Structure 1
Amino acid sequence: MISFEEAYTMVMTNTFSFKEESVFLTNSLGRVLAEDIYADRDFPPFHRVTKDGIAIHSSALKNGQKTFPIEGIVAAGTEQIALKSAENCLEIMTGAVLPDNADTVIMYEEVSIENGKATLLSEVEKGQNIHKQGSDIEKGHIVIKQNTKITAAEIGVLAAVGKVQVKVKKLPEITLISTGNELVAVHEKPAPHQIRNSNMLSLHALLQKENIQAHHLHLDDEKNEIKNTLQELFTENDVLMLSGGVSKGKYDFIPEAMEELGVEKVFHRVQQRPGKPFWFGIHRATNTYIFSFPGNPVSTFANYHIYFKDWLNKSLQLNYSKGFIVLGEEMSNTTPLTLFLKVKVNEENEIRKAFLIKENGSGDLTSLVHTDGFIQLAPKKSGYQKGDVVPFVSTR
């Protein structure tokens, strides 16, 4: 059995190399860019007016001029026109191109318009209320770097530079495998000795948040069936994620089947709670990564967030750094294990603090509904005090 730190390091040093594919812009949300995105024009592409009002040339202000005859009106979306006289003005709308021979815009609230003339009501600063061409970014410069996860903000920028097709990293093909004769489908009514297969649905939902549509498979506790099925799955999947079958029970055949199939065991069993029986390995011939989590719901849920999510983000070259949080109460860990404890996060005086959730062991599925994340407590004889800062893994 290895330490949590060793297990985490081993997982993170065995990451996956993603290929690329092109998708339509409208299907790129949540994906990771596989290319730099360049500005195809200046942003903004012209001197853009930012307020409804009048456009003037500031030279008239030097002569003490306060009233300007109005030459016309300029709407957004019209081609650039010129201010004919520096002693006149043009009414202009937000988003319009600044007229040639104009360099300053005064909003309507600061002028009085009467009899075709606009009179200034306040002091004016040359160049005000103008978004200068190229002031955001110039043509040819990078607007979004590769390895960026595409959010609604990136969608807007991609659309602005005309990226109809976007090159993104392919997502891994993943099959979720549950084992155990005690499991029945969600729609079935379980017998007194059975339970519904909830772990697969939790993992499926977690992967959906990463835009991964996983396949499902259930295997009974029969060694040959497990072995034969796994052999077929290696050729079709980048990742196999199992729940159950990795403890030391008489019917926990996964580790033995993996060994017989030539899978390289990176480790099995970690000094942590929950999730101690965690098994991690790689089938080098097909480059398939195997995350075999314990069958207890909380163990599976915790290990997904602690290990797999960081592994996925690092493989995608995204940020995967752990967060930290302040303890809202005294806690302890007198065991030799690294503990991951379910907590609720509350804000006190603008400081986020963690408070323990009452639970009934790693099989207590219902407690996850109230969980905001897991705090990580290393063994410590002296205990943890209120106000201490500890690592925190968010599950929200």
Structure 2
Amino acid sequence: MITYDEAFRRVMLYTNDFGEETVSLLDSTNRVLAESIHADRDFPPFDRSTKDGIAINYATFEKGINAFKIEGVLPAGIPQQKLSDINNCFEIMTGAVLPANTDTVVMYEDIEIKDDIATIKSVSNEGQNIHFKGSDKKEGVTLLDKGTLITAAEIGILASVGKITVLVKKLPKICVISTGDELVPVSIKPLPHQIRTSNVISLQAALLKENIIADHLHITDNKKVLEDRVSKAIDEYDILLLSGGVSKGKFDFIPEVLEDLGVEKIFHKVLQRPGKPFWFGVHEVSKTAVFSFPGNPVSTFVNYHIYFKPWFKNSMGLFYSDKYVILENEIKIQSSLTLFLPVKIKWVEGKLLANKIENNGSGDLTCLTEADGFICLTPKDLAYKEGALVPFFATKHTC
């Protein structure tokens, strides 16, 4: 049996690359960019007004002239106009092209208009209220690097350079597999000796956050059936996420079946709670990664977040980094195992504090709805004091 740190290290050694694909602009949201994006013209592409007001030639104002005849009104979206007389002005709207022979915009709040004459009350400086051509980025410079996670902000950049399709990192094909004769579909009322399939539904929901629609396969506790169906899944999918069947029970066939099918066991069982029986391996030929989690709800949920999610992030080129929180209360450890404890978090005076949630062990599914994530506490003789900084795995976007 290995430590959590060693298990995590081994999992991260087997990150994978699933290739690239081209998708439509909006479908690239929350995907990872597989190409660098360059400016196809200056940003902004012209001198533009940032206020509603008038465009003037500042040299005229410096000469002591503060009343300007209005030659016209310039909305956004029309070609550049030219001021015929530098003693005059144009009314100009936000986003409009700055007219030739002008270099300063005075907003309406600082002028008075009467009989087509704009009288300036105050001007701060030459060039005010103008977003100058190329002041953000010059044509040809890199706007987005390969490996960038595409959010709404990046979508705006992609749209501005005309990317109606985008090259992104391909998402893996994933099958979530449940085992156990005691499990019945969510839609069926279980008998007293049965339970509804919830673990794999939680996994599928978690994968939706990563833009992955995972398939679900349920297999009964029959070794031959298990072998046949898992063999087909290995051929078809990049990743298998299994829940249940990895402990020491007489019907826990998963470890034996996986090894018989050519899945190299990287490790089985970790010195941690919950999730101790976790099994991880990689198929020798297809390179399918197999994460076989214990069947208890909290164990499955924890192992997904502490192993699979960092592994997936690194596989997509996003590179996982540790997060930490501050303990709000002292926690005593009486275990030789690394513990993952559910916590609520809150911001207090710029510090992220965590408070342990009491629960009834790895079968307590309801505690997951209360928790914002899990803290990681490695074994030690002394208690973790109030104010201690500890690793944190978020399970909710609010974190």
Instruction: Give me the TM-score of the superposition, normalised by structure 1.
Output: 0.98
Write out aligned runs for 1:207-226 (5 A): 207-226=207-226
1:90 and 1:263 mapped to 2: Cα distance? 74
Residue 124 of structure 1 deviates from its aligned partner by: 3.0
In structure 2, the partner of 1:317 is: 317
User: What amino acid is aligned across from residue 386 of structure 1 in structure 2?
Assistant: E
Q: Is the 8 A contact 1:70 1:117 kept in 2?
A: yes
Write out aligned runs for 1:1-396 (5 A): 1-396=1-396
SS at match of 1:32: coil
1:58-91 per-residue CA deviation (whole Å, 9 max, x = no partner) reads 1112212211121221111111011112211111
User: What amino acid is aligned across from residue 2 of structure 2 in structure 1?
Assistant: I
Q: Is the 8 A contact 1:56 1:90 kept in 2?
A: yes
Q: Is the 8 A contact 1:332 1:380 kept in 2?
A: no
User: What amino acid is aligned across from residue 228 of structure 1 in structure 2?
Assistant: D
Q: Is the 8 A contact 2:177 2:218 kept in 1?
A: yes
Residue 37 of structure 1 deviates from its aligned partner by: 1.0
What number of residue pairs does the alignment pair up?
Answer: 396
2:347 and 2:88 mapped to 1: Cα distance? 57
User: What amino acid is aligned across from residue 282 of structure 2 in structure 1?
Assistant: I
1:70 and 1:214 mapped to 2: Cα distance? 63
User: What amino acid is aligned across from residue 252 of structure 1 in structure 2?
Assistant: D
Residue 170 of structure 1 deviates from its aligned partner by: 1.0
2:331 and 2:237 mapped to 1: Cα distance? 42
Residue 118 of structure 1 deviates from its aligned partner by: 1.1
1:12-38 per-residue CA deviation (whole Å, 9 max, x = no partner) reads 111011211111112111111111111
Unaligned runs of 5+ in 1: none
1:149 and 1:55 mapped to 2: Cα distance? 40
Residue 344 of structure 1 deviates from its aligned partner by: 0.8
Task: Tell me whether 116-125 or 230-239 shows the greater mean CA deviation.
Answer: 116-125
Instruction: Give me the TM-score of the superposition, normalised by structure 2.
Output: 0.98
SS at match of 1:333: coil
Residue 230 of structure 1 deviates from its aligned partner by: 1.3
CA RMSD of aligned residues (A): 1.0
Task: Tell me whether 254-263 or 266-275 shows the greater mean CA deviation.
Answer: 254-263
Residue 321 of structure 1 deviates from its aligned partner by: 0.6
User: What amino acid is aligned across from residue 115 of structure 2 in structure 1?
Assistant: N
Residue 41 of structure 1 deviates from its aligned partner by: 1.1
SS at match of 1:383: coil
1:154-195 per-residue CA deviation (whole Å, 9 max, x = no partner) reads 111111111011111111011111011111111111111111
SS at match of 1:264: strand
Residue 256 of structure 1 deviates from its aligned partner by: 0.6
Q: Is the 8 A contact 2:67 2:119 kept in 1?
A: yes
Residue 209 of structure 1 deviates from its aligned partner by: 0.8
Give the % identical residues. Answer: 55
1:184 and 1:143 mapped to 2: Cα distance? 50
Q: Is the 8 A contact 2:240 2:288 kept in 1?
A: yes
SS at match of 2:265: strand
Task: Tell me whether 63-72 or 42-51 shows the greater mean CA deviation.
Answer: 63-72
1:151 and 1:43 mapped to 2: Cα distance? 20
Unaligned runs of 5+ in 2: none
User: What amino acid is aligned across from residue 393 of structure 1 in structure 2?
Assistant: F
User: What amino acid is aligned across from residue 227 of structure 2 in structure 1?
Assistant: K
Residue 349 of structure 1 deviates from its aligned partner by: 2.9
1:213-257 per-residue CA deviation (whole Å, 9 max, x = no partner) reads 111111111111111111111110100110000011111100111
Residue 106 of structure 1 deviates from its aligned partner by: 0.3
Residue 319 of structure 1 deviates from its aligned partner by: 3.2
Residue 142 of structure 1 deviates from its aligned partner by: 1.2
2:63 and 2:230 mapped to 1: Cα distance? 86
2:187 and 2:75 mapped to 1: Cα distance? 61
1:182 and 1:157 mapped to 2: Cα distance? 51
Q: Is the 8 A contact 2:24 2:165 kept in 1?
A: yes
Residue 284 of structure 1 deviates from its aligned partner by: 1.7
